[in-house]
Chains A and B, each alone.
Chain A
């Protein structure tokens, strides 16, 4: 492989070029791993929900533990009103988690290491949450920008800050995931390159570091999926239970 640690993020066409109007929607390696992740999720959870035994087998246990994990996460952060959005948060968490985890396999492609993917997800969440907020509370939703118990003098400043922080939500949400995945994979690639260039004599140190980094990256892969999902829950909570 090329020595440049950024080449792993290259997107390239698999198969023929598909064009719809002016848009190129060719099947790429990114598309491939989106499809693989989705299929893996569907297969695992389909197997996990097929048979209902009182004593669940391993795959059923996995599916049910994931279900209750996400369910608890939503009810803890957004309360019972967020119940209708459970499926979405569950799909989101699983999609991000599986994309991150598939990216940990050598020679694979990490879908979530692309800002465009995470940004589309974050933008959809942002728009969705804003729409839900306005549907539930009307223009009362704007009270979100006016925290209670703030001195009148500071209010204009606070409102401006609140609006900026609200608008930067999709950016922070998407950049957090994208940057974490990209940085981790780049670092692993760099250390992998050190192993090769230092050879059998000096390569052991970066190799051991690489092993440790792999463990850390798996943790980060899970953690970032969790953070992505829980921030979605927190934004939903703001929209559903306006308490300002």
Chain B
């Protein structure tokens, strides 16, 4: 039990940069560029870890502590998602609301860190981040409500197990929830069209503006946390909507190998889809983002409504 939990915890942090690398690679290929190798994020991280860290004169302890906390919290959340095995020893400690709560804690710390130096870029990033988060939160809660209505539980392993069972079939509420969650994931992990992770020096940036003052090992931890957050959402979507292949608890070695292969395949598909979506859409104005997330909220509300009306949706 505990072994698989530790394995999935380590796996999360090990493949997170790979996912980011795959997204970048596919994106580059779609734009007729060669692009760096899919392992480039690992090289970037090791480079950042070996550089010295530059901190502003007036930075407080909060500024230096935030990266570690943000990374740790995101890691804890990402480790709770069943990726290759339903054996998640910690799952009784944190069902979905708590899982998103941990991510909210991480965001709270990062938004504060953005304000610590007292620069205008930090402020702009923090204020926009909390705005986007506050609109996404009701959509997330309704999403959890829909999943609880479908699966009868808000524990992630239960939901995944339920969807994997043959009794589910095609459910329109699950389709709506899927679209809603995909939109939430894009907004929350700061991808185009809500935010652009590849940009600096642009007034529309959100996450990158918050972390502008960071360098060296601090920046490495924050980049890794961002990669983990993307991985969290991709794993969440694959666990909730395509849980097939995840090894049952107490599975055999072969099952784990299959699960691992399938998981990497799912990540590749998700990376390709995300990259395709990102190159075919333009970045939104900040004040269009509420519409985008509002639409996600409407979709999950519709799913909840349908599900409340009849069990067959």
Chain A partners chain B: no
Residues of B within 8 A of A (CB): none
Residues of A within 8 A of B (CB): none
